[in-house]
Homo-oligomer: A and B are copies of this chain.
């Protein structure tokens, strides 16, 4: 593979240090090619990584990892770092693509300090490393690399506010590529823009206001300039911010021109920049059904607005944003604010719908509890892509039920089909009594044998098909699985009752009591962690009754890029396994 001739000689950061300066541009070019090649083939974060190649080369020439600690925020811009720390094979060798994750992973390398995939954590984490260093009397540099809009997250501010007082070595590199995941929002990014426009001299300076020394590098893709700037802050005895202006997508024209689309991309054709998979023929996802319906409702009522935290692409909100800009609010990476803002908008008479990727709603638990539910504010929260997935360990979406369903006042709904998805949004927006959340599975809306929908009445489950002996409760996206289980049971001569619970947060005690007369077994199926989830509430309800209860769902664990089918088997979630366990 001569296209990676130089990169293949780099086994660790000291190899980077030993290169003649004249060869660094070639290294950068090979790194860029490696990132582009893998991401175009497998999908992944493109723009952030193309933008940080020179930054990473400079980091490893100036600092001494792993003695010096580099903490990558979100860590989706760490591919170049992986290329220089013994893991280039994961980008240059298609057969080994799968060996390397898209985020920093201490299990892969001693140069990765933390497993990180949620934003805005790097400064706090680095601050803890710096304090431990000081307490243990060690001497090394601690560097947080933060960018891609992560500064807007509250944890990043808390970290900066505390790190400013460290009184010892601490370096924050702000990788400013002018973007969040989508375009940037918030007053802070106005400040960054002014700093860029003024070559770093504009006042008032946010970082200086907090107490940091501040330095600016205009060309953040110039290795020499970056190296010089880092040499100056290396071994600093106090906290410093190095603001580096990089180009997101640098070196690949389609990514430079469409920064949002190439922040993260599905596999694409390098020549044209076109995504390979034709999504127009794909079946609709739950998220698309809801958002299309939301857009129609918003067209009819200007009080209905959509709120999201920097993820319009992941949530299929770009069309809504384009066509209804006055009713669309991207608050940046700021989930806490998004929930409080939604709650208050509802109190103020608007009809907000705040949409979150499943794994990120957990960034706003206190706001769900205090700002929303304690105030019983009729805002609508939509959780997308909830359920068991093959995602990276940092992007799992299986913990939302224990998280949310145990908060008082919240009505948490799980639609089982397309019609119910629309129905639940209608219901949530038509009422004024409860905060309502809607849990959407990640995949396409299923074709079902039975129609699981019925008029919504608070905490009323739907008895979709009457049977006896065994009742199967299939929550939301797992109603389809319940149908399959019922089918299997029929092969064993059991005509099972099929129930669509719909309400995660309230038991239909009447229906559950009614089952006792003609059923000795109840099965619960949920597409999420069993611990603290829906099924356990059913187990508690039947605790003193002559009904056996079997709860099926995910195990309480962090899984990392495990195929869904394998997880289903591991959790005994195939229809065969479920029936085998219950009939045993």
- A interface residues, Cβ below 8 angstroms from B: 69, 106, 113-118, 121, 124-129, 131-133, 135-136, 152-165, 185-188, 190-191, 203-206, 208-212, 302-303, 305, 327, 329, 331-332, 334, 336-337, 340-350, 352, 362-363, 365-367, 369-371, 373-375, 393-394, 399, 402-403, 405-409, 529-533, 535-537, 539-540, 542-544, 548-551, 556-558
Q: Which residues of B contact A135 (CB under 8 A)?
A: 302-303, 305, 327, 345, 350
Q: Which residues of B contact A542 (CB under 8 A)?
A: 543
Q: Which residues of B contact A531 (CB under 8 A)?
A: 405-406, 537
Q: How far is the CB of A363 from chain B (nearest CB, A)?
A: 4
A-B contact pairs, 13 of them (CB 8 A): A115-B374, A124-B340, A125-B343, A131-B348, A136-B349, A154-B155, A155-B337, A158-B336, A363-B365, A365-B366, A532-B536, A539-B540, A544-B549
For residue A549, which residue of chain B has the nearest CB?
B543
Taking a contact as CB atoms closer than 8 A, the residue among B125, B133, B305, B409 that contacts A558 in the complex is B409
B158 touches A187 (CB 8 A): no
Closest A-B pairs by Cβ, 9 of them: A154-B154, A128-B344, A132-B348, A164-B187, A124-B340, A158-B337, A204-B204, A187-B211, A157-B157
A121 touches B370 (CB 8 A): yes
A403 touches B191 (CB 8 A): no
Cα A329 to Cα B370 in complex, Å, equals 27
Q: Which residues of B contact A118 (CB under 8 A)?
A: 366, 370
Q: Which residues of B contact A408 (CB under 8 A)?
A: 556-558
A154 touches B162 (CB 8 A): no
Q: Which residues of B contact A203 (CB under 8 A)?
A: 203-204
Given A191-B210, A369-B362, A549-B540, are A406 and B127 also a contact pair (CB < 8 Å)? Answer: no
Cα A533 to Cα B305 in complex, Å, equals 35
Cα A536 to Cα B115 in complex, Å, equals 31
Q: Which residues of B contact A115 (CB under 8 A)?
A: 374-375
Q: How far is the CB of A152 from chain B (nearest CB, A)?
A: 6
Given A348-B136, A406-B531, are A544 and B536 also a contact pair (CB < 8 Å)? Answer: no
For residue A136, which residue of chain B has the nearest CB?
B349
B157 touches A344 (CB 8 A): no
Q: Which residues of B contact A127 (CB under 8 A)?
A: 337, 340-341, 344
A402 touches B406 (CB 8 A): yes
Q: How far is the CB of A109 from chain B (nearest CB, A)?
A: 15
Additional A-B contacts beyond A69-B348, A118-B370, A157-B157 (6; CB < 8 A)? A132-B350, A161-B188, A362-B369, A365-B366, A365-B403, A402-B532
Cα A159 to Cα B362 in complex, Å, equals 18
Q: Which residues of B contact A533 (CB under 8 A)?
A: 406, 532
* Among A114, A158, A303, A371: residue with most chain B CB under 10 A: A158
Taking a contact as CB atoms closer than 8 A, the residue among B124, B205, B558 that contacts A209 in the complex is B205
B187 touches A165 (CB 8 A): yes
Q: Which residues of B contact A159 (CB under 8 A)?
A: 337, 340-341
B155 touches A340 (CB 8 A): yes
Cα A550 to Cα B303 in complex, Å, equals 47
A131 touches B329 (CB 8 A): yes
A185 touches B164 (CB 8 A): no
Given A125-B343, A135-B305, A394-B374, are A158 and B334 also a contact pair (CB < 8 Å)? Answer: yes
Q: Which residues of B contact A162 (CB under 8 A)?
A: 185-187, 331-332, 334, 337, 341
Q: How far is the CB of A169 from chain B (nearest CB, A)?
A: 13
Taking a contact as CB atoms closer than 8 A, the residue among B114, B210, B363, B407 that contacts A399 in the complex is B407
